[in-house]
Amino acid sequence: MLEALLVMALGSVILGGALGYASVKFRVEGDPLVEKIDAILPQTQCGQCGFPGCKPYAEAIAKGEADINCCPPGGEDGIHKLADLLGREFKPLSGEHGVEKPKSTAVIDENVCIGCTLCIQACPVDAIVGAAKQMHTVVASQCTGCELCLAPCPVNCIDMVPIPETIDNWKWKYPVFAVQKAA
Partner 1 sequence: MSNNSPFLRQPASVQVVMLKVLAALLPGIAVYIHFFGWAVVVQIAIASVTALVAETVMLAIRKKALKPFLTDGSALVTAWLVALTLPPIAPWWLAVLGVLIAIVVAKHLYGGLGQNPFNPAMVAFCALIVAYPQLMSQWPAVGFTDFGAQMQAVFGHRDLDAVVMATPLDALRTALHTPEARATVSGVLGSHATFGNIGGRGWEWIALGYLLGGLWLVQQRVITWHIPAAFLGTLGLASLLASLASPDQYAGPAFHVLTGGAMLGAFFIATDPVSGSTTPRGKLIFAAGLALLTWIIRVFGAYPDGIAFATLLMNICVPLIDMSTQPAVFGHKGKQP
Partner 2 sequence: MASYLFIVLGAVLVNNVVFVRILGLCPFMGVSKKLETATGMGAATTFVLTMACGASYVIDSWLLIPNHLEYLRTLSFIVTIAAIVQLTELVIQKTSPVLHQVLGIYLPLITTNCAVLGVPLLNVGLKHNMVESMLFGFGSAVGFTLALILFAGIRERLEGADVPVYFRGTAIAMITTAIMSLAFMGFAGLDKYK
Partner 3 sequence: MRPLFGFTGGVKPASHKTESNQGGIVVAPLPPVLTVPLRQNAGLASRPLVQAGDRVLKGQAIAGPGGSISVAIHAPTSGTVRGIETHPIPHPSGLLAPCVVIEADGEDRWIERTPVDPYALPVEELRTRLRDAGVVGLGGAAFPSFVKTQHGPTQRIETLILNGAECEPFITCDDLLMRTQAGQILDGAAVLAHIAGAQRIVVGIEDNKPEAVAAMTAAAQRAGLLVEVVAVPTRYPAGGEKQLIRVLTGIEVPFGKLPPDYGVQCFNVATAYATARALLHGEPMISRLVTVTGNVERPGNFEVRIGTPIADLLKLAEPKADTDRNLMGGPMMGFALPTLDAPVIKATNCILAGSKAMFPAPGPEMPCIRCGSCARACPMDLQPFEMYWFSRAKILGKAQEYHLFDCIECGCCTYVCPSRIPLVDYFRFAKSEIRAREKENEAADAARQRYEFRLEREEREKQEKAAKLAAKAAETKAKLAQAGDADDKKALIAAAVARAQEQKAEEKPGVE
Backbone Cα Rg of the chain: 25
Closest CA to 61 of 38, 78, 39, 81: 38
Residue 76 lies near partner 2 (rule: CB under 8 A): no
Q: Least distance to partner 2 from the beta carbon of 136, Å?
A: 43
Nearer to partner 3, 66 or 145 (CB): 145
String marking each residue 35-54 x if it binds partner 2 according to CB under 8 A: -x------------------
Work out which of 42, 48, 68, 82 binds partner 3, going by CB under 8 A.
42
Q: Least distance to partner 2 from the beta carbon of 177, Å?
A: 9
Q: Least distance to partner 1 from the beta carbon of 180, Å?
A: 7
Residue 27 lies near partner 2 (rule: CB under 8 A): yes
HEC states along 55-86? HHHHHHHHHCCCCCCCCCCCHHHHHHHHHHHH
Contact present, 120 and 136 (Cβ < 8 Å): yes
Q: Least distance to partner 3 from the beta carbon of 44, Å?
A: 7
Residue 10: its H or E element: helix 2-25
Work out which of 13, 15, 112, 139 binds partner 2, going by CB under 8 A.
15
How far apart are the C-alpha atoms of 73 and 146, rounded to whole Å? 8
Q: Which does 129 bind (CB under 5 to 8 A by kind): partner 1, partner 3, partner 2, none?
A: partner 3
Site for partner 3 in 44-73 (CB under 8 A): 44-45, 53-54
- Give the number of residues written for the chain: 183
- What region does 132 belong to: left with phi over 0, alpha with psi -120 to 50, or beta? beta
Residues of this chain that bind partner 1 (CB under 8 A): 175-176, 178-183
